[in-house]
Amino acid sequence: MSETRVTVFDTTLRDGEQAPGCSMTVEEKLRLARQLEKLGVDVIEAGFPIASDGDFAAVQAVAREVRRPRIAGLARTRPEDIDCAWEALREAARPRIHIFLATSDIHLQCKLKISRDDALRQIESAITRARGYCADVEFSPEDATRSEFAFLCRAVQAAVDAGATTINIPDTVGYTVPEEFRAIIGGLREQVRGIENVVISVHCHNDLGLAVANTLAALEAGARQVECTVNGIGERAGNAALEEIVMAMRVRHDRLAFETGVCGEEIYNTSQLLARTIAFAPQPNKAIVGANAFAHEAGIHQHGVLSNPLCYEIMTPESIGAPGNRIVLGKHSGRHALAKRYAELGYTVTGVELDAVYRGFTAMADRKKNIYDQDLVALLPRSKRAPEMAAGRAAFAG
Ligand code: KIV
Ligand code: ZN
């Protein structure tokens, strides 16, 4: 693999599924996994097999059917977790066991109630056990960014020495900032013996809205796997959004000279499939895939976009497989966009007639949040509107 090729590890079906409103049936996970394969991700984390019978069945079904990407299953350091993960994964074409154990003092003392030495012993024996099953083993020191750095290095060293092939550094609670995260990744590369022989991965949560920025900073420091989810779903404020990472690399390749195997044109379909599967769609102003990501309501913007979309769009909707941009008519819209919409509806409205209709339109837009095509037709003089209304056009303006 080239030095700039980044492995995309999708955890929509595991971390994403852990968020409220996101649980999925085996059939739903399988359908999404097929789409993730089409999207071109390198690794699909299909679930946490010991967590439930359903999760076990989902990981097993994905492992059996989805053959190109690696399929990962999550496990704690307990032997029964690792055995269960392997049982679910064993028929995969390319299985990966992903083991995690917290390394921050707050997690060790308050949650796990074990000492640092106990943690090191657990890491060593868990990875040795997993390697007995599978050549591809990932280790995550949970809450890495709040762990004492010297101890984090010891934990990672124990994992590398025991045979982990990927070391994932999670910002579990979305606490770090880009500069600090870059230093953590750089520091690990300096301090841990043999780390040059493993892939360094990052897994960032979005509690401060920095998940993607932190992920990109880590790539600059030498990480070569990104863990992410479609639409950024995941615990609390979510995980780094796959579509944002991938499109940042594409649109700003001049500053972020990395490549992935993701097919940009499948991003929108994947986002929509996920939204139909879980309880919610991405927020309208969500970068890349939100309903407003390519919508323009303000008159100056509409004029610019109608002249040349690049005035206000840094990527085309087609580049992510989305339908074309939307010119939305609202109180900030101008005459250009209004006349264009009328033309699309089959009415030629120009000159003084357009001035009059535009006055009625802005008054209506002050009162209403959404303006529909019927509203626009109703603003036309009666003599003009009657025949066309029979055509019964409806739906949102734009
Ligand atoms: O956020 C986290 O620390 C995790 C690990 C299991 C990787 O999801
Ligand atoms: Zn996570």
Q: Which residue, of 278, 305, 339, is where some domain finishes?
A: 278
The two structure tokens encoding residue 72: 């990962």
Closest residue to atom 8 of ligand 1, CA basis: 15
Among residues 265, 357, 326, 350, the alpha carbon closest in space to that of 38 is found at 265
Ligand with smallest separation from the Cα of 143: 1
Question: Can you tell me which residue has the tokens 């994992």?
Answer: 159
Of the chain, the percentage scoring pLDDT greater than 70 comes to 96
Residue 227 pLDDT exceeds 70 = yes
309 with 267, same domain: the answer is no
Residue 380 has a pLDDT of 95
Half-sphere exposure of residue 174: CA atoms within 13 angstroms, side-chain side: 17
258 with 312, same domain: the answer is no
CA distance 326 to 61: 39
pLDDT digits (tens, 9 = 90+) for 290-302: 999 999 989 999 9
Residue 384 has a pLDDT of 83
Residue 387 pLDDT exceeds 60 = no
Ligand with smallest separation from the Cα of 19: 2
1 domain residue, yes or no: no
260 with 347, same domain: the answer is no
Q: What integer is the mean pLDDT of 79-98?
A: 98
Q: Which residue, of 252, 278, 304, is where some domain finishes?
A: 278
Residue 363 pLDDT exceeds 80 = yes
Residue 386 has a pLDDT of 58
Residues with CB under 5 A from ligand 2 (ion): 15
239 domain residue, yes or no: yes
* Nearest atom, ligand 1, residue 15 CA: 8
Q: Residue 5: phi, psi to the nearest 5?
A: -80, 125
In this structure, the residues whose C-beta lies within 6 A of any atom of ligand 1 are 15, 100, 140, 142, 168, 170, 172, 203, 205
Q: Read off the pTM.
A: 0.92
204 with 259, same domain: the answer is yes
Q: How far is the CA of 236 from the centre of ligand 1 (A)?
A: 12
Q: How far is the CA of 172 from the centre of ligand 2 (A)?
A: 5
Residue 71 has a pLDDT of 99
Of residues 40 and 383, more confidence is placed in 40
28 with 115, same domain: the answer is yes
pLDDT digits (tens, 9 = 90+) for 228-252: 999 999 999 999 999 999 999 999 9
Residue 395 has a pLDDT of 38
Quickly count helices (H) and strands (E) in the chain: 15, 10
Q: How far is the CA of 218 from the centre of ligand 1 (A)?
A: 16
Q: What integer is the mean pLDDT of 17-41?
A: 98
pLDDT digits (tens, 9 = 90+) for 183-206: 999 999 999 999 999 999 999 999
Residue 382 has a pLDDT of 87
183 with 307, same domain: the answer is no
283 domain residue, yes or no: no
Q: How far is the CA of 353 from the centre of ligand 1 (A)?
A: 61
169 with 318, same domain: the answer is no
Q: How many residues does the chain have?
A: 398
pLDDT digits (tens, 9 = 90+) for 260-288: 999 999 999 999 999 999 999 999 999 99
Task: Please measure the distance between the N-terminal and C-terminal CA atoms of the chain and give it in whole angstroms.
Answer: 45
Partners of 241 in the β-ladder: 229
190 with 328, same domain: the answer is no
| 234 touches 211 (CB < 8 A) | no
CA distance 246 to 251: 9
Of the chain, the percentage scoring pLDDT greater than 90 comes to 92
93 with 148, same domain: the answer is yes
pLDDT digits (tens, 9 = 90+) for 132-180: 999 999 999 999 999 999 999 999 999 999 999 999 999 999 999 999 9
Closest residue to atom 1 of ligand 1, CA basis: 172
Q: How far is the CA of 143 from the centre of ligand 2 (A)?
A: 9
262 with 361, same domain: the answer is no
* Nearest atom, ligand 1, residue 170 CA: 3
252 with 350, same domain: the answer is no
Residue 389 has a pLDDT of 46
What total of structural domains would you count in the chain? 2
Q: Range of 307's domain? A: 295-397
Residue 398 pLDDT exceeds 80 = no
Q: Domain of 44: which CATH number?
A: 3.20.20.70
Residue 391 pLDDT exceeds 70 = no
